[in-house]
Chain A
Amino acid sequence: MTARAPAFNEVIHAPQRLRICAMLSGAQKLEFGLLQDRLGLSKSALSKHLTLLVEAGYVRHERALRDSRSRLWLSLTPEGARAYSAHVQALQQIVATHEA
């Protein structure tokens, strides 16, 4: 994850989208179903969040066959990884400023 100055990002600021980015930052790719299970969202709700992230250029998706079923895999783009990192730094800054 490339370092960037702390910055709030309106697209990923929403709690579920932030959690999606957190999970995607832990692997090269994650399957849609795993995100859905962990976040406890309906298919349509998760799709809506992902569409916003994809349109912002933060997430890319691809279909791949596994066990003869087509599955949707998602990953953070380099820009998405930078935006997430900057957002986390901004949160850390708020906590640090308060504790200082």
Chain B
Amino acid sequence: METQAGQPPSPDEAKRTLHELGRDESAVRYPPLPQWFFLAMAALVAGLALAQLLESSDSSRATFALAVVAVVLASRYWLNRDGVSWASARFTDMLPFVLGILGTFAASAVIAATTGASWVWIVAAALAGAFVIRTGRTYRREFGE
């Protein structure tokens, strides 16, 4: 960033500045995360899908427990890590991931409820887990590990 105080930057300087600001923001919002983090998240998300195969009360308890573990992991290693309190991911960055996971769960719930094919949750577990791992690969390529 070569811009001097008091004078507007040239278009090239402005572009470089925006690029650097984007990197600084991303360094806070999206820290490097190890592979095991995404493997654990994939297992938890798959577990959430498989929990739907349990009896109603057991399913609720398992869903709650898995969700709590996922939130604690995300909080400890991403949102509230050393020197950072509540990193804020951009909604637009998260949207494809959230839509992918919610879409998988919603479609499975509809299929299971309308056809009684509860095995669809096994497919959902595999799909959602694979989706998390794929997202993790992209994330680590972009933001490091």
Q: Which residues of A are in contact with B by a Cβ distance under 8 Å?
A: 8, 10, 13-15, 18-19, 22-31, 33-34, 38, 73, 88, 90-92, 94-95, 97-99
Contact, CB under 8 Å: A15 / B1: yes
Q: B15 contacts A95, CB within 8 Å?
A: yes
Does the CB pair B24–A19 fall under 8 Å?
Answer: yes
Interface size of B in residues (CB-CB distance below 8 Å): 29
What is the predominant secondary structure among interface residues of chain A facing chain B? helix
Residue of B nearest to A29 (CB): B85
Residue B32 at the chain A interface, CB threshold 8 Å: no
Q: A22-B24, A92-B18, A94-B8 are in contact. Are A27 and B1 (CB under 8 A)?
A: no
Kindly state the separation between the CA atoms of A25 and B83 in the bound complex, as whole angstroms: 14
Give the Cβ gap from A59 to chain B, nearest Cβ, in Å: 14
**Does B72 lie at the interface of the complex (its beta carbon under 8 Å from any beta carbon of A)?**
no
Contacts of B18 in A (CB 8 A): 88, 91-92, 95
18 contacts between A and B (CB under 8 A): A10-B5, A15-B17, A22-B20, A22-B22, A23-B28, A24-B28, A26-B24, A26-B87, A29-B84, A29-B85, A31-B82, A33-B83, A73-B85, A88-B18, A94-B11, A94-B14, A95-B18, A97-B11
B26 at the interface (CB under 8 A from A): yes
Roughly how many angstroms separate A55 CA and B126 CA in the complex, as a whole number?
Answer: 54
Known A-B contacts: A28-B86, A30-B85, A91-B9. Give 8 more (CB < 8 A).
A13-B3, A13-B6, A15-B17, A19-B24, A26-B29, A29-B85, A92-B18, A97-B11
Chain B interface (Cβ < 8 Å from any Cβ of A): 1-3, 5-6, 8-11, 14-15, 17-18, 20-22, 24-29, 82-88
Which residues of A lie under 8 Å from residue B1 when comparing CB positions? 15, 18-19
